[in-house]
Amino acid sequence: MKHLRIFHYVDEVARCGSIRKAAEQLNVTSSAVNRRILDLEEELGEPIFERRARGVRLTAAGEVFINFVREHEGDVERMKSQIEDLKGLRRGTVRFACSQALAHDFLPREVAAFRKQYASVSFDVKVLDHERAVAALAAYDVDLLLVFRPPYLANLQPLMTLEQRLVAIMHERHPLAEKKTLRLRDCLRYPVALPERGFGGRQLLDEFCARSGLRFQIAAESNSFEFLRSLIGHGDLITFQIQIGAPAENDKFGMVTRDIDDRDLPTANLVLGQLRGRNLPVPTAVFADRLARSLEAARAKIGV
């Protein structure tokens, strides 16, 4: 499969913008990478890289070639996985992007359960905000995503959607913990810790503020949900999370979850998706099926 190796070389050089840096990543010599690229350019009759003083850049022909390589990368992995299946093996890598809300409990639980059955399958998981996750999918950096409120992408194919509400999270000692359901106006009297504006949940809250003319007392902002969750355990702050990422009942750190009144915030979709028309590698397709079943079970549990 020598042509697969040169595809991999070209892809790495394009990502690094340098033959030397790509060679370091590939653990081969720069001359070996350069020689293969020169052979390929001679075969194509066109240069695919423009050599510059500080590295290389794809030419127009190179852009066409690299798009072809990345579009068919999933097909190659699928073919290799199917061949391994014939040997009774389950090898391969599931390349996946998810929202932070899934990274604390839901996704680790799903990955661990999957690996009990398919121990030879590895995972490459990127925890990203919804815009960067969709960009990673479009760039073929991942094969699958599970994100809240993804931005529009023409060739995003949803495999499963799950409506999600925002809930308030606070320590059990917080004055609002006595209530079962909150109006967002209730939360305005207390300092809050919010995710940065790039996150889907924060955007829902900002839209509420724009409609109502009200403002939160923002004590802290962070791009880390783990930090926000830990922060509220040490004070009187409130944070917000989608249902699937909320702490379980009887949380050992004293965190409690309270519903937000439906009149204040609309629901939005958590989307499991892939690029339209792309054949997923076998392990990824099987994992996607598992996630879809788990999301369906979550739908029944929360009643949406």
DSSP state letters, 2-45: HHHHHHHHHHHHHHHT-HHHHHHHHTS-HHHHHHHHHHHHHHHT
CATH architecture of 166-266: 3-Layer(aba) Sandwich (3.40)
Least confident of 80-84, 126-130, 194-198: 80-84
Select from 41, 47, 69 the least CA-distant residue to 60.
47
The model's pTM is: 0.69
3-class DSSP state for residue 244?
helix
pLDDT given at position 252? 67
pLDDT tens digit sequence for 73-116: 777 777 777 776 655 446 789 999 999 999 989 999 999 999 99
The residues that bridge with 217 in the sheet, in sequence order, are: 191
Q: Locate 130 and state its tokens.
A: 């919804």
| CATH number at 2-69 | 1.10.10.10
- Rounded-to-integer distance, Cα 28 and Cα 33, Å: 7
CB-CB neighbours of 223 under 10 Å: 12
Greatest alpha-carbon span in the chain: 73
- Rounded-to-integer distance, Cα 90 and Cα 159, Å: 23
CB-CB neighbours of 297 under 10 Å: 10
pLDDT tens digit sequence for 225-238: 999 988 988 878 99
Q: Which of 64-78, 158-172, 226-240 has the highest mean pLDDT?
A: 158-172
Q: Locate 68 and state its tokens.
A: 């072809």
Select from 168, 97, 108, 166 the least CA-distant residue to 130.
97
- Rounded-to-integer distance, Cα 159 and Cα 262, Å: 26
CATH architecture of 90-163+269-302: 3-Layer(aba) Sandwich (3.40)
Residue 295 pLDDT class (50, 70, 90 cuts): very high
pLDDT tens digit sequence for 21-56: 999 988 889 998 999 999 999 999 999 999 998 899
Helix orientation angle between 2-16 and 19-26, rounded to the nearest 10 degrees: 130
Domain with CATH 3.40.190.290 in the chain: 166-266
